[in-house]
Structure 1
């Protein structure tokens, strides 16, 4: 399975929904909190994004919590 990374912040309800969704489906992921981690914030800005969540599945980047795009990227 492709590596999954979720860029989040402390106050983002969609980030929480995305993490819960992945957990409910047994998908392992790495969380990078841009509010607490300057390196994660820099990574996200380098990708051209200023908002969260951004979910990276392999090479695919999904902006926001979009179940259909996420399921498609995960092959589910």
Structure 2
């Protein structure tokens, strides 16, 4: 099982929602400032925050459906 990493920007509503949802679901994660990792995020073709890296997958925006899939996959492994 790999770490969940969330790249965020200050004052980002979707970043706050993602942080809150992960916390409510009990998912441990590392939060990093997106501005310090722009080359990586661009290489992954993401231009908006938050960007979530989890279990070999990645997405941008507040995606509770994707978070729920990660949680379910971890329960089943």
Structure 1: tracts of 5 or more residues without a match: none
Please say if 1:2 is aligned against 2:6: no
How many residue pairs get matched? Answer: 73
Residue pair 1:15, 1:53 contacting (<8 A) in 2 also: yes
Q: Structure 2 length as normaliser, TM-score?
A: 0.81
Distance 1:71 1:56 in 2: 14
Q: For the aligned residues, what is the CA RMSD?
A: 1.5
Please name the residue that 1:62 is paired with.
Answer: 59
Which has a greater percent of helix?
Answer: 2
Residue pair 2:22, 2:67 contacting (<8 A) in 1 also: no
Structure 1 runs, 4 residues or longer, greater than 2 Å off = none
Structure 2: tracts of 5 or more residues without a match: none
